[in-house]
Structure 1
Amino acid sequence: MGSTMAAKILARASGASSVATGDAVVAAISFITCLDGQTFIDNFREKNLKVWDPERMIFCFDHMFQPDWMPVRAATEHPKIKSFAKEQGIPDENIYDLGRNGISHQIPVEHGWALPGTVCVGADTQSSTMGATNCFALPALFGVDPIIVSGKLWMIVPECVRITLTGAFPEGVNGKDFVYRLIADLGEDVQGRVIEFDGPGVANLSMDMRLAIANGSVQIGALTIIFPSDATLLDYIGPRAREEFEPVQADSDADYVAHYDYDLSRIEPLVAGPHNIELVRPLNQVTGLPVTAANIGSCSSGRLSDLALAASILRGRHVHPSVRLVVTPISAETYREANRAGIIQDLLDAGATVTQPGCGACYSGNLSPLKLGDGERCISTSVETLRGRMGSNESEVILANAAVVAASAIAGEIADPARYRAKEKVSA
């Protein structure tokens, strides 16, 4: 029986020639990425603990810029991280502060930390996002102290599920819609397992699309997601890589516990929620529901392709007067690229409020002007639809892709963006 990508990466990281599903390994990690707001710092100081390799630890400031629920924390958390970094010898360049900041699992991809064939750890639930780069990306929100001290993690080589992709997404459909499709379809079948993608459809997915899909691992129920290495990945990661790397590919007879096939051309716009992300429905089942807020951003969206998709709907139009639309780029790099492309101006001209990069309105503790009140309904590209996630417990959050959010912001109700694209084609 051949090896999965996960097994090959874990074997390499543990110094073994090969490992099999169910084996226990102690794998060396390539780096750990942390958001701002880490409880382990106090423990390290109290016990005089040391980081295993200061060069391989990074902090990304993405959450705690003046959160309204605890304003003093914004003034103390970032200086605390910086002073800890100096104590530990962590380089200044490893602290991604304003002007370089972004979400803690996007920054490692953009800046060449998350490399093919490596084990990457992130202190955030959505750290599987990095698996788009052909790495084993493990979310480790709690209990990271032993990993940071040793630079290693103990784990059982997980079972893997293979998903073969064909075709390409239709216009107006993106990685978020596919994540919702997998949430609806797979359920307990992938619980705690690794999803590995292959097939000719992978070549039709941009890096933005792959990152959006890998980001959905926790919501789907998987341990993590791994994409194969191909020309698209190597063209992207090659100029960014901080060191040499060696991609992995699964063997043709790899040990998969299940195999699914998806034709991406058959994926339609879907929505999830409110309150339960497993409540997945076709867009047409919720069109016409009034909205008072619209949000584009978070680690499941907010990339350049998402901002461009929203701008293509909003260009030459204006946000409905009863709706406030907030857009948060996922990183400073993305913000600059969108600005150079004229996308930011299009969003502003349409009446959107564009905020500094980071997590934005995804949860109500972040710095964002968008806080939901009682009875409000928000259409959002964010990652969670939990009750109270974006403000009042008496509000609703329905998740959709950036085109749907943009169209809904214009209409004042959940709307199919096809109606706006059709008008553009007629006028053209």
Structure 2
Amino acid sequence: MHALHKILMEHAKPKRMSVMPGEFLEIEPDVFAVGVGLNPEDLGQLETDLAELGVKEFPPRDKIFAFLDHGAPAPSAGIAAAHKRWLEFFRARGITVTDGGAGISHLILPERGLVAPGTVIALADSHTPTMGAVGAFAAPVAGGTLSLFALGRCWMDAPQVNLVKIEGRLQRDVFARDVALHINGCLGQHGAQDKAVEFSGSYVRDLSMDMRFTLCNMGTEIGSAASYIQPDSTTLDWVGGRVKKPFKVFDTDPDFAYEETHEFDISRLRPQVAAPHAPDNVKPVEEVEGRHVDQAYLGSCASGRLEDIVVAAEILKGRKVHPNVRFIVTPGSREVLRAATRLGYIEVLHEANAIVTNAGCGACPGLHGGILAPGEVAITCTTRNFEGRMGTGAEIYLASPATVAASAVEGRIASPLRYL
């Protein structure tokens, strides 16, 4: 069995002795995370459904965590009203709710030690696979929310598993986000549809945790149900000071047969850019270099971590953002923002005339904090560049934080090489 199947086996109800790909399992997750909604009508339907079932108390209350990471602070009266209703719903039932500046669920859960190796996380958000970087089974749940509230359980498919082996060492102007974009472009948006993806190889073994999260985040953009990196000393060192409960590391059996194996040598990879309007429309930066930009954006659950802010600050130190560009920096979590402030990187960004916001999802889902006007062009390290995602009639180019920062300085898409 694969480690992911062993994790599911451990959490199956009733208890299982084995799990095979394709099986439909009743799972009791360690964590059920839910976003504070933007639509009060959705809450009304949930309350009606719970009342019909006679559910007054949530059995897994200590496992439920609510996050205020989309549209926070509220950008409109309508969203503010929706937040108010959802917050009242959660607080009345004793559910822990993060404040609007705490950050993105995918960052906060591992940072606070709530997600660890061998755990199962259920979250109604497509980028939940990000947390597979710690060796957890982290899968988005589309349905099943009602059963999670009522019973603390949901149904999950045991996925087939693809292996992505990445070998080599990057050149100095190339980063993990470039690797993620490159793989995205090669495999396509459906390259691992409804499967799990394990990332391995010499490159992955040498990666920091920040960049492992970035790599696993990309799994969503190739259609995967879960991403996974086998826990090692880097993982255990990172979770060691965070996780308070016992956890278990599972290993994949040596004879496990992967559904597909994809191998990449990234030694000669150049900086990558995903051009409008698809995350897999990926090209070397040289092919789009010189395209003017109105906005540069650093943030999201893909690239809103400390290392992302560090590389941007290093490029901007002693320089100014181009006068025709808005360079917006949205840290992924308060922990990231505090660390970047303590180390002096936020001051560097302010000196360069960047706009630093509170932690959260920010402009990535197109709600606030960097919406584009028709005809405007942005280069960002957010998750997706679908048409209309950050504003009707706008163009979004995806790139690494280094490429985004270099472009912010020049006012056009630019390679970061000359700045590093």
Q: TM-score, normalised by structure 2?
A: 0.93
Q: Which residue of 1 aligns with 2:294?
A: 292
**Post-superposition shift, 1:241?**
0.7
**Post-superposition shift, 1:156?**
3.0
Identity %: 36
Q: Distance in 1 between matches of 2:411 and 2:38?
A: 39
Structure 2 letter corresponding to 1:58: F
Within 5 Å, which residues of 2 pair with 1:312-323? 312-323=314-325
SS at match of 2:396: strand
Between 1:400-409 and 1:26-35, the stretch displaced more is 26-35
Alignment check: 8 A CA contact 1:36 1:64 kept: no
Q: Which residue of 2 aligns with 1:412?
A: 411
Distance 1:67 1:386, change over 3 A: farther
Alignment check: 8 A CA contact 1:167 1:200 kept: yes
Between 1:312-321 and 1:177-186, the stretch displaced more is 177-186
Over residues 229-259 of structure 1, what are the superposed CA-to-partner deviations in whole Å (9 max), with x where a residue is unaligned? 1011111111111311001121211121111
Q: Distance in 2 between matches of 1:189 and 1:79?
A: 40
Q: Distance in 2 between matches of 1:198 and 1:270?
A: 21
SS at match of 1:129: helix
Q: Distance in 1 between matches of 2:300 and 2:395?
A: 17
**Post-superposition shift, 1:146?**
1.8
Between 1:217-226 and 1:321-330, the stretch displaced more is 217-226
Distance 1:31 1:21, change over 3 A: same
Q: Distance in 1 between matches of 2:187 and 2:365?
A: 26
Over residues 23-60 of structure 1, what are the superposed CA-to-partner deviations in whole Å (9 max), with x where a residue is unaligned? 33212111111222166643443333342311111112
Gaps of 5+ in 2: none
**Post-superposition shift, 1:71?**
2.3
State yes or no: 1:83 paired with 2:88: yes
Structure 2 letter corresponding to 1:176: R
Within 5 Å, which residues of 2 pair with 1:29-428? 29-37=29-37, 41-46=43-48, 47-48=50-51, 49=55, 50-68=57-75, 70-74=76-80, 76-90=81-95, 94-98=96-100, 101-187=102-188, 188-366=190-368, 368=369, 370-391=370-391, 393-421=392-420
Alignment check: 8 A CA contact 2:144 2:154 kept: no
Alignment check: 8 A CA contact 2:36 2:87 kept: no
Q: Distance in 2 between matches of 1:248 and 1:310?
A: 36
Structure 2 letter corresponding to 1:132: A
Alignment check: 8 A CA contact 1:13 1:27 kept: yes
Structure 2 letter corresponding to 1:270: Q
Alignment check: 8 A CA contact 1:105 1:122 kept: no
Q: Distance in 1 between matches of 2:268 and 2:254?
A: 26
Over residues 144-166 of structure 1, what are the superposed CA-to-partner deviations in whole Å (9 max), with x where a residue is unaligned? 21233222222332111112233
Q: Distance in 2 between matches of 1:128 and 1:281?
A: 25
**Post-superposition shift, 1:141?**
4.2
Alignment check: 8 A CA contact 1:52 1:148 kept: yes
Structure 2 letter corresponding to 1:83: E
**Post-superposition shift, 1:326?**
0.6
Over residues 364-416 of structure 1, what are the superposed CA-to-partner deviations in whole Å (9 max), with x where a residue is unaligned? 313x1x2211211111111111112112x221110101010110011011001
Distance 1:254 1:263, change over 3 A: same
Structure 1 letter corresponding to 2:229: F
Q: Which residue of 2 aligns with 1:426?
A: none
Distance 1:156 1:404, change over 3 A: same
**Post-superposition shift, 1:189?**
4.0
Q: Distance in 2 between matches of 1:42 and 1:175?
A: 42
Q: Distance in 2 between matches of 1:279 and 1:396?
A: 13
Q: CA RMSD in A?
A: 1.8
Q: Distance in 1 between matches of 2:225 and 2:268?
A: 26
Alignment check: 8 A CA contact 1:66 1:72 kept: no
Between 1:127-136 and 1:14-23, the stretch displaced more is 14-23
Over residues 147-204 of structure 1, what are the superposed CA-to-partner deviations in whole Å (9 max), with x where a residue is unaligned? 3322222233211111223333332322321221222222344221100123333221
SS at match of 1:410: helix
Alignment check: 8 A CA contact 2:185 2:279 kept: no
Alignment check: 8 A CA contact 2:328 2:354 kept: yes
Structure 1 letter corresponding to 2:418: R
SS at match of 2:224: coil
Between 1:261-270 and 1:203-212, the stretch displaced more is 261-270
Q: What is the number of equivalent residue pairs in this alignment?
A: 410
Alignment check: 8 A CA contact 1:374 1:394 kept: yes
